[in-house]
Chain A
């Protein structure tokens, strides 16, 4: 098959998404006096120091006490504050699920849960810290908005955007330095998919760190004459169902890709959308109901089938399944 020309994306320099969060928070500190921040002994990891230096009175160091942090965040909303509570994804969700459920989600509190070190790419610390279930936990909570960003620029824009959104938000980002390729001046719209590449043979619906992998996969596929449409879903809930359906109606099949268990993740939300509206073959690039382990992010992406090669493989399978 002949090579297809596709749009090129440029990595402007590898940088971690958590720095996007930290820098977004610093900007919010300057622009919105109601924004306050809390952290459970991970200020350096969450890149919150600049916000703290500029707004010491608006920062609450709670110590290694995530349950208390979530409750305090809920309380701070009473009086008009917009709390950004930061810790690792594992401790921001699974450890404090009931606190989030009762004091934040059910109580309808305007808390922003900011979770770094999500997925396997936190790397060497191993499975105790690598949560692959958090998207599922959070998207099951009524009223919770769930966002997983893909690069520094998008994370920074999302951090700033969620301050304007009334209601609880789960913002998921990570530790490793990854390609930064989305526009610096982007407007982040909650619930709105981003079309990265136009294509006709397959739709790749992708979130988080795997977005750059999906772009690499699309380039590889284009060399073999396969035209992949790449849609970045940064907001898993509420899901931009129209964007997904419009694309799959054109391509006839979909690969979902995420750094998360296939149970409870983006892929399942996509599958539900398709089964209700437009059934189509789907392959899931995700972890297969397993815990992670120690290793470098690259090694873990390869071992757990989350890299560009895994996406290419899934695309070839799903295209075969089209009638």
Chain B
């Protein structure tokens, strides 16, 4: 693993996120920026995946994005790992685009296997895909990502109970633990208590990544998570991140959850993330 190379990739992804949402003056930069390191490491280092996209994904690892509003980071990473042309990022949220506001399968965008955006559904889908892998004797893994606020949706806990109760041990569900949601901090909106204890009480193997915006920590954490699969328990990664990471005025606040920067703000934000791999 070349950390400098990953840093360059992540910086370029940040630029892509900011430029996508700025162009259409809509979208969700905060959570996207906070998960940039996770996506970078997942797609560049962890996933055994085939950008020559096939919906069934037999013989490869699968990833499901449950908190679909962070589509800008998903699209950027998919494009820059070969799923579709990078210049297509120019069409984010525009009419007739495959890059819908929230990810969909409807327009046939390679790399997306389920529509998401209405929150709380992704873990169930990931579990179904994980069970299909077992039926197919496919040893590859299923990864999923969820917002912490998203765990307020009850369906998650149906899925969390099912996964542990049935020993679905080929799944790694990561929680973007940034403590923020649209109306404010999760503690103010609906305190969720001790998430680690909750997952453990349901029977999951939980590990934490203390700094989810540190590429090396993310890589180490996800490798460790991978090593803990196949042991009878589903694996949960609590990924501590900072919403808006990488743009100083967007950090540590929910204000940029679903708000695009204006021209001046974009310029400032891009200056903090200089071009590395080339803008689209």
Any chain A CB within 8 A of the CB of B11? no
Measured CA separation A89–B35 after assembly (Å): 40
Interface residues of B in 109-152 (CB under 8 A from A): 113-118, 120-133, 135-136, 138
Interface residues of A in 14-72 (CB under 8 A from B): 36, 57-58, 60, 62-63, 65, 67-72
A68 touches B129 (CB 8 A): no
* Chain A to chain B contacts (Cβ below 8 Å), 9 pairs: A65-B158, A65-B162, A68-B124, A68-B155, A71-B155, A72-B125, A79-B132, A106-B106, A109-B114
B106 touches A67 (CB 8 A): no
Any chain B CB within 8 A of the CB of A122? no
Interface residues of A (CB under 8 A from B): 36, 57-58, 60, 62-63, 65, 67-81, 83, 98-99, 101-103, 106-109
Any chain A CB within 8 A of the CB of B230? no
A71 touches B104 (CB 8 A): no
B138 touches A79 (CB 8 A): yes
Instruction: Give the residues in chain A near B161, CB-CB below 8 Å.
Output: 63, 65
Chain A interface, >50% SS class: helix
Measured CA separation A76–B128 after assembly (Å): 4
Counting from the closest, the 5 A-B pairs by CB-CB distance are A75-B128, A71-B124, A79-B132, A72-B128, A65-B158
Please give me the residue from chain A that is nearest to B120 by CB atom: A67
Measured CA separation A81–B134 after assembly (Å): 12
A78 touches B113 (CB 8 A): yes
Instruction: Give the residues in chain A near B127, CB-CB below 8 Å.
Output: 68, 71-72, 75
B121 touches A71 (CB 8 A): yes
Instruction: Give the residues in chain A near B125, CB-CB below 8 Å.
Output: 71-72, 74-75, 78, 103
If A63-B162, A68-B162, A108-B106 touch, whether A103 touches B124 (CB-CB below 8 Å) is yes
Interface residues of B (CB under 8 A from A): 55-58, 62, 64, 104-106, 113-118, 120-133, 135-136, 138, 154-155, 158-159, 161-162, 165-166
A83 touches B128 (CB 8 A): yes
Instruction: Give the residues in chain A near B136, CB-CB below 8 Å.
Output: 79-80
B115 touches A102 (CB 8 A): yes
Measured CA separation A80–B220 after assembly (Å): 33
Contact check: which of A58, A68, A107 meets B135 at CB < 8 Å?
Answer: A58
Instruction: Give the residues in chain B near A67, CB-CB below 8 Å.
Output: 120-121, 124, 154-155, 158
Measured CA separation A108–B106 after assembly (Å): 7
Measured CA separation A312–B183 after assembly (Å): 58
Contact check: which of A70, A72, A83, A108 meets B162 at CB < 8 Å?
Answer: A72
Instruction: Give the residues in chain B near A77, CB-CB below 8 Å.
Output: 128, 132
B129 touches A76 (CB 8 A): yes
If A71-B121, A71-B127, A75-B125 touch, whether A80 touches B132 (CB-CB below 8 Å) is yes
Measured CA separation A62–B64 after assembly (Å): 20
Measured CA separation A235–B236 after assembly (Å): 44
Please give me the residue from chain A that is nearest to B127 by CB atom: A72
Shortest CB–CB separation between residue A147 and chain B, in angstroms?
23
A98 touches B162 (CB 8 A): no
Instruction: Give the residues in chain A near B120, CB-CB below 8 Å.
Output: 67
Please give me the residue from chain A that is nearest to B136 by CB atom: A79
B135 touches A81 (CB 8 A): yes
B128 touches A78 (CB 8 A): yes
Between A60, A75, A79, A109, the greatest number of chain B beta carbons within 10 A of the residue's beta carbon is seen for A75
Shortest CB–CB separation between residue B197 and chain A, in angstroms?
22
Measured CA separation A74–B115 after assembly (Å): 10
Instruction: Give the residues in chain B near A78, CB-CB below 8 Å.
Output: 55-57, 62, 113-114, 125, 128-129, 132
Instruction: Give the residues in chain A near B123, CB-CB below 8 Å.
Output: 71
Contact check: which of B58, B105, B129 meets A75 at CB < 8 Å?
Answer: B129
B118 touches A102 (CB 8 A): yes
Contact check: which of A36, A57, A107 meets B114 at CB < 8 Å?
Answer: A107
B128 touches A74 (CB 8 A): yes
Shortest CB–CB separation between residue A23 and chain B, in angstroms?
23
